[in-house]
Amino acid sequence: MAITSQRPIFPTCYGLDYGPEEIIAGTGAKEILFDAFMASLDPGDEVIIPTPYWTSYADIIRIAGGEPVLVPCGDDTGFRLTAEKLEAAITPRTRWLLLNSPSNPAGAGYGAADYRPLLEVLLRHPEVWLMADDMYEHITYGGFEFVTPAQLEPRLKERILTVNGVSKAYAMTGWRLGYAGGPRDLIAAMKVVQSQSTSHPSSISQAAGVAALTGPQDVLAQRRASFQARRDLVVEALNGMEGISCPVPEGAFYTFANCAGVLGKRTPEGRVLETDADFCAYLLEQHHVAVVPGRAFGISPYFRISYATSEAELRQALDRIATAVAALA
């Protein structure tokens, strides 16, 4: 992002205040995560990730020499990590907790009441830092109120890296621009890593990002309304299918439905569906609908649908899924 001589306000609706030396811009938020882990992890260091999780997290951590510690968080907890599970996962090798809210793939959001018990745990463990992936900050629905940990608990700000970008809210994925605010020493180390890889994000992308962040914001409300209508369409249709159960996401543009009720059934060709991957393969091969199995995100038996597409395409896909489910015996 553009750095001026004045102290910049971090581009989030909560106005986090960081100086120029506490901010880094990267070639997408993925590079921000990569630089942070490369700069901070020693071989064998652990990073706690609640599952389901965005698939790149674990691979980035492994490339940096760390060990992802996957903590299952199913629909019984709203796909959210609890304080008890966090406490149990922390070891002497734990260096980071990585949280994504609202999340890919589940659309689960951490409100203030969800975050506070987790932050209390981190206050008791000064060696553990928090990476907050806020990429879907502006894509939330209904009464859910987005909040970011550094704004909630100032005592932890010096151990929090707040990550965001323009890819999702502003539909600028191809511009490859992410950014983060965090402690000066961490940002400096991340810049060393970046200087020997991408150097910096394109100046053209940075200018476009500044225009998006500082220009008219009406588009955000319009996109939220459009996404919410599509979310409601998908959730209602999935919950009307026998054997499928779909929680209502608080944000992002994905549903993460439980397909346990169709496992063990047979397709018209006689194949028994034993896993969520089997179910997704059946939808693709026999009904030409592409969805992603939950095991790709670290937890089964679920499947993800992205509703970042047209309502017409969604209706067609949902009709095909309904037909596929009805054909099982």
Q: Please say whether the beta carbons of 252 and 102 come within 8 A.
A: yes
Domain tally, the chain: 2
Do 245 and 313 belong together in one domain?
yes
Distance between CA atoms of residues 249 and 78, nearest Å: 9
Do 290 and 197 belong together in one domain?
no
Do 118 and 263 belong together in one domain?
no
- Alpha-helical runs (H) found in 146-183: 149-152
Do 135 and 47 belong together in one domain?
yes
Is residue 4 included in any domain, yes or no? no
Do 208 and 242 belong together in one domain?
no
Cβ partners under 8 Å of residue 312, min gap 6 = none
Structure tokens at 78: 């709203």
Do 62 and 111 belong together in one domain?
yes
- Cα 209 to the center of its chain, rounded Å: 20
Do 65 and 98 belong together in one domain?
yes
Cα separation values, 48 from 90, 149, 277, 320, Å: 8, 16, 25, 37
Give the domain CATH number at 98: 3.40.640.10
Is residue 148 included in any domain, yes or no? yes
**DSSP 8-state secondary structure symbol assigned to residue 172:** -
Residue written as token pair 């760390």: 66
Is residue 3 included in any domain, yes or no? no
Answer whether 0.75 is exceeded by the pTM: yes
Cβ partners under 8 Å of residue 129, min gap 6 = 40, 95, 96, 97, 159, 160, 161
Confidence of residue 175 (pLDDT cuts 50, 70, 90): very high
Report whether pLDDT(216) > 90: yes
Is residue 7 included in any domain, yes or no? no
Is residue 304 included in any domain, yes or no? yes
Query: How high is the pLDDT of residue 225?
Result: 97
What is the rounded average pLDDT of the residues 294-316? 98
Is residue 166 included in any domain, yes or no? yes
Q: Please say whether the beta carbons of 33 and 53 come within 8 A.
A: no
Do 71 and 146 belong together in one domain?
yes
Tens digits of residue pLDDT in 90-142: 999 999 999 999 999 999 999 999 999 999 999 999 999 999 999 999 999 99
Query: How high is the pLDDT of residue 16?
Result: 85
Distance between CA atoms of residues 79 and 294, nearest Å: 12
Do 207 and 266 belong together in one domain?
no
- Among 146, 181, 214, where does a domain finish? 214
Confidence of residue 10 (pLDDT cuts 50, 70, 90): low
Structure tokens at 39: 């700069």
Is residue 104 included in any domain, yes or no? yes
Do 151 and 277 belong together in one domain?
no
Query: How high is the pLDDT of residue 13?
Result: 57
Confidence of residue 15 (pLDDT cuts 50, 70, 90): confident
Minimal CA–CA distance to 167: which of 56, 24, 53, 28? 28
CA-based torsion, 13, 16, 19, 25: positive or negative: negative
Gyration radius of the chain's alpha carbons: 20
Give the domain CATH number at 300: 3.90.1150.10
- Among 162, 197, 214, where does a domain finish? 214
Structure tokens at 54: 């965005």
What is the rounded average pLDDT of the residues 288-309? 98
Is residue 208 included in any domain, yes or no? yes
Q: What are phi and psi of 96, to 5 degrees?
A: -140, 150
- Among 214, 235, 251, where does a domain finish? 214
* Long-range contacts of 276-285, Cβ-Cβ distance < 8 Å, separation of 24 or more: 276/300, 276/301, 276/302, 276/303, 279/303, 282/324, 283/320, 283/321, 283/324
- Cα 307 to the center of its chain, rounded Å: 15
Do 233 and 209 belong together in one domain?
no
Give percent of the chain above pLDDT 90: 95
Distance between CA atoms of residues 46 and 90, nearest Å: 9
Distance between CA atoms of residues 61 and 38, nearest Å: 8
Give percent of the chain above pLDDT 70: 96
Domain enclosing residue 30, as ranges: 20-214
Do 173 and 62 belong together in one domain?
yes
Q: What are phi and psi of 80, to 5 degrees?
A: -115, 145
Minimal CA–CA distance to 139: which of 50, 222, 209, 58? 222
329 C-beta neighbours (distance < 10 Å), count: 8
Q: Please say whether the beta carbons of 23 and 190 come within 8 A.
A: no
Tens digits of residue pLDDT in 42-64: 999 999 999 999 999 999 999 99
